[in-house]
Amino acid sequence: MSSFEQTLKSDIDLVNEALDKYLQVTDSDYGKVIEAMRYSVMNAGKRIRPVLTMEFCRLNGGNKKGALACACAVEMIHCSSLIHDDLPCMDDDDLRRGKPSCHKAFDEATALLAGDALILKACEVIALSDTKKSVATKAIGILSSLAGTEGMIGGQVIDLASEGKKIDADTLSKMHSLKTSALIRSACCMGAVCADADEENVKNASEYGEYLGLAFQVIDDILDVVGDEKQLGKPIGSDEQNDKTTYVSLFGLESAHKKAEQYTNKALSILDKYEGSEFLKELTKTLLKRNK
């Protein structure tokens, strides 16, 4: 295992262990909803957001473990959005990472409540952690605003409104920035905040997250056209089927690849400002080449 793979594995192990502790079934009368939360959270996701939180903490001179509560919180918000996105009234997806989506494995009401409970749990774990109070409030402020209407949820609303109609490049870019980058930005910024970083370093974290998120979303669009269904764990071609405007539908595959590379390079150039950013650079490049 390379040193990069080792660090990635040790970060992910830390996150998985903490998530497992946060999501324990304590009472059988309402255990079902916690089982549904666990089903969606403990499913071997890529854990990109929590890894970013921990690594941006380290990059700014902090201790990774001190950012663990925030790292788990952003992953919980992410998983909540996936559960709710899959519901029949949203994308109506039966599969998620090759397994039945939460409302298929349980039922719609339980999936709805599991998503709600994950949002609350995210704020709870930060608030009740031993993170310094001034850092915890800052982190909760960042996470809740960038996941909310001015961030991820705002992007989902634009996404819903865009279904079945052509949108222009600016709207598409705004949608991606809100829907995908905002939460990734929150992950990076919370990490920096956990290390008591100053405004400039938090801004760097935010910009890195913005570019990485945009690259991430363009690659998602590409994989929906040329991806391997088995690797992805979901059917491809859904964007075209739903008549969705994507980077690929607007500019073609080749331009989309170039765009993803441009965004990735912009993210990398921010990391150039930091010593000890080799791991994050490798992670950034790996995400450009991902096939799932």
Residue ranges binding its own copies (CB under 8 A): 26-27, 29-30, 32-34, 37, 80-81, 84, 87, 89-90, 107-110, 112-113, 115-117, 119-121, 123-124, 126-128, 133-134, 136-138, 140-141, 144-145, 147-150, 153-158, 160-161, 171, 174, 178
| Least spacing, CB of residue 250 vs its own copies, in Å | 18
| Least spacing, CB of residue 158 vs its own copies, in Å | 5
| Least spacing, CB of residue 292 vs its own copies, in Å | 26
Rank residues 132 and 290 by Cβ distance to its own copies and give the closer one: 132
Using CA atoms, how far apart are residues 223 and 248, in angstroms rounded to an integer? Answer: 10
What DSSP string describes 251-292?
HHHHHHHHHHHHHHHHHHHHHTTSTT-HHHHHHHHHHHT---
Strand partners, 96: 99
Rank residues 2 and 26 by Cβ distance to its own copies and give the closer one: 26
| Least spacing, CB of residue 92 vs its own copies, in Å | 10
Rank residues 81 and 277 by Cβ distance to its own copies and give the closer one: 81
Q: Report residue 246 CA to chain centroid gap.
A: 19
Rank residues 156 and 264 by Cβ distance to its own copies and give the closer one: 156
The amino acid that residue 60 corresponds to is N
- Reduced to 3 states (helix: H, G, I; strand: E, B; else coil), residue 95 is strand
CB 250 within 8 A of CB 172: yes
Using CA atoms, how far apart are residues 176 and 152, in angstroms rounded to an integer? Answer: 9
CB 188 within 8 A of CB 216: no
| Least spacing, CB of residue 38 vs its own copies, in Å | 11
Using CA atoms, how far apart are residues 39 and 101, in angstroms rounded to an integer? Answer: 9
Rank residues 80 and 284 by Cβ distance to its own copies and give the closer one: 80
- Reduced to 3 states (helix: H, G, I; strand: E, B; else coil), residue 181 is helix
| Least spacing, CB of residue 265 vs its own copies, in Å | 28
